[in-house]
Amino acid sequence: MAGPVVKAPPLRPFPSIPALQPDAMAASKPYIATDKIQEPLGFPGQLVENWEQRAIGRMGELLKRYRSLKVYLESCVHCGACTDKCHYFLGTGDPKNMPVARQELMRSVYRRYFTLPGKLFPKLVGARDMTKDVLDEWWSYYNQCSECRRCSVFCPYGIDTAEITMAGREIMDSVGVGQKYANEIIGKVHRIGNNLGLPGPALEDTLAGLEEDVKEETGADVRYPMDEKGAEVLLITPSADFFAEPHVDSLIGYGKVFHAAGISWTLSSYASEAANFGMFIGNYEQMRKIALRIRDAALELGVKRIIVGECGHAWRAAYSFWNTLSGIGAGGDDPFAKQLQNQLDLRYPQPQHICEFTWDLIQRGALTLDKEANDHRIVTFHDSCNVARASRMGTRAGGQFDIPRAIIRAVANNYVDMDEGTIREKTFCCGGGGGLLTDDLMEIRVKGALPRMEALQRVVDSSKVNFMATICAICKAQFTKVLPYYGFKMSMVGGVHQLVSTAIRLGPKQ
Ligand code: SF4
Ligand code: SF4
């Protein structure tokens, strides 16, 4: 079914703050998950009776469980520093897309039920009852936040709107209002092992095809193995890498790097997904269940190392949460976590990002690289939010910014950064993160991409950039879709390991 026609806003001189357009995006809402999607995840199939009390009850549980949520709801001083920092506000002008206003949607309800002034004098302190109108507003605007955390970089108190959005979605799921796109995907991972719902045989077919293609291209017998017991490395990568363009070009690149390094590796048909949408809906139990598939696969295959492919939020989940969720990294203390601790080779980071792995090999001179092979490209790099603001790479501060750039510079001669205010920790979201990468949210996706498109246009104009590299499956999918809205070619976006793949030399044929 064709969706509504979406018109991209015009690119503006950068940076510029839009004129306010109250409620411009009030009608933007994702499809609601059906009972068939909700119930297998343990959520009510539809809006429950007494949902108001249940929503407040769930909020109370989250406030006890996450002290950060309480601190964030209590500590805003309305200084306004975050107001113009959200790409969705910059792209739409809707004041409810200002981070402080997005927070206020929940803070006003928090005040009413969890503070004395709010209980006694609600109107005086801007406290609101939990009504259907409030729930509708939450549904719109907590699905217009990609949980990118850019606003928190500028907040003097470090208030993280993403955590408030996650709590909002968690509360809505608990009363039966779940997002179709995200929850359907979580169900597929539980049932099949990956977001795309691709069964093992389909994955194996693809991998066999890749082996043939790479043999044809390079003359080398590069393997793309699956479920191989005793391999040194288990690679956990987004399932989009198996099929989607340009994602698959990075998967080809990973295989070439493992081949060149002479390190045995395998993918897993059981844990064939790096993404973890449990994080997007703020649900710890879903997140843990998804992460445990990876632990199970690692134990079953007997691997010594776990490496994560190009996926932004997956790296956040792996870097920040896998240890306590599953025992990959120190932290988990159940018997299986301990078994895994004993199995993994602790001389290496566990888990390790594929960029850390490749950069280490480059530094040791273990790869033969022909930079000229990328001379047709003038490259820039889009930092992905969850890598930039919620994780690290390497042993030095800022490694998550420097290592991908160092790899690009090692494999390509032409590299240009975008405007300083739009990269590294200040990077702008692609517009499709946080569970918004669905066609029913196309308008907010296109408009939310505006700040990144403006920054891209500047380096296209000044330096003739024709390739934007990124290390996130969602960014790749989002940009492929929205670049044409702004007059760019969709093939302009690709992975860092796509560039590595072009430059790496493997066999005598080359
Ligand atoms: S999308 Fe990002 S910048 Fe906007 S409110 Fe959410 S976390 Fe903040
Ligand atoms: S920057 Fe922080 S304290 Fe200031 S208005 Fe935004 S959330 Fe509140």
Asked whether 264 and 295 are in contact (CB, 8 A), the reply is no
Nearest alpha carbon, ligand 1 atom 2: 148
Write the residue with the smallest CA distance to atom 4 of ligand 1: 86
The values of phi and psi at residue 112, to 5°, are -65, -40
Give the number of C-alpha atoms closer than 13 A to the C-alpha of residue 407, restricted to the C-beta side. Answer: 32
CB contact burial 308-347 (16+ within 10 A = b; e otherwise): bbbbbbbbbbbbbbbbbbbbbbeebeeeebeebbeebeee
157: Cβ below 6 Å to ligand 2?
yes
The whole model's pTM is what? 0.96
Probe target for ligand 2 pocket from 73, 82, 102, 110, with the most ligand atoms within 8 Å of CB? 82
- Strand (E) or helix (H) holding 307: strand 305-308
CA of 68 to the centre of ligand 2 (A): 15
Q: Tens place of pLDDT for every residue, the chain, 510 residues?
A: 445 688 899 898 766 899 999 999 999 999 999 999 999 999 999 999 999 999 999 999 999 999 999 999 999 999 999 999 999 999 999 999 999 999 999 999 999 999 999 999 999 999 999 999 999 999 999 999 999 999 999 999 999 999 999 999 999 999 999 999 999 999 999 999 988 888 999 999 999 999 999 999 999 999 999 999 999 999 999 999 998 999 999 999 999 999 999 999 999 999 999 999 999 999 999 999 999 999 999 999 999 999 999 999 999 999 999 988 888 877 777 888 889 989 999 999 999 999 999 999 999 999 999 999 999 999 999 999 999 999 999 999 999 999 999 999 999 999 999 999 999 999 999 999 999 999 999 999 999 999 999 999 999 999 999 999 999 999 999 999 999 999 999 999 999 999 999 999 996 544
Q: Residues near 189 by Cβ (< 8 Å), separated by ≥ 6?
A: 195, 273, 275, 277, 290, 293
Specify the residue with its C-alpha closest to ligand 2, atom 3: 76
- Enumerate residues 6+ apart whose C-beta is below 8 A from 416: 378, 379, 380, 459, 462, 463, 465
Q: Whose CA is nearest to atom 5 of ligand 1?
A: 99
For residue 473, what is the DSSP state? Answer: H
Probe target for ligand 2 pocket from 86, 96, 100, with the most ligand atoms within 8 Å of CB: 100
Q: Which helix (H) or strand (E) holds 380?
A: strand 379-381
Instruction: Say how far apart CA 306 and CA 298 lie, in whole Å.
Output: 8
Read off the DSSP letter of residue 226.
Answer: B
CA of 312 to the centre of ligand 1 (A): 16
For residue 155, the ligand 2 atom closest to its alpha carbon is 1
Nearest atom in ligand 1 to 88's CA:
4
Q: Bridge-partner residues for 305, per DSSP?
A: 233
Ligand nearest to the CA of 99: 1
Q: What is the 3-state secondary structure (H, E, C) of 230-295?
A: CCCEEEECCCHHHHCCCHHHHHHHHHHHHHHHCCCEEECCCCCCCCCHHHHCCCHHHHHHHHHHHH
Radius of gyration over alpha carbons of the chain, in Å? 23
Specify whether the CB–CB gap between 282 and 69 falls below 8 A. Answer: no
State which ligand 1 atom lies nearest to the alpha carbon of 385: 2
Helix (H) or strand (E) holding 308: strand 305-308
pLDDT in tens, 159-212: 999 999 999 999 999 999 999 999 999 999 999 998 888 899 999 999 999 999
Separation in Å, CA 202 to CA 172, 239, 290, 296: 35, 12, 21, 21
Q: How far is the CA of 78 from the centre of ligand 2 (A)?
A: 5
Q: Which residue's alpha carbon is at the smallest distance from atom 2 of ligand 2? A: 155
Closest residue by CA, ligand 2 atom 6? 82
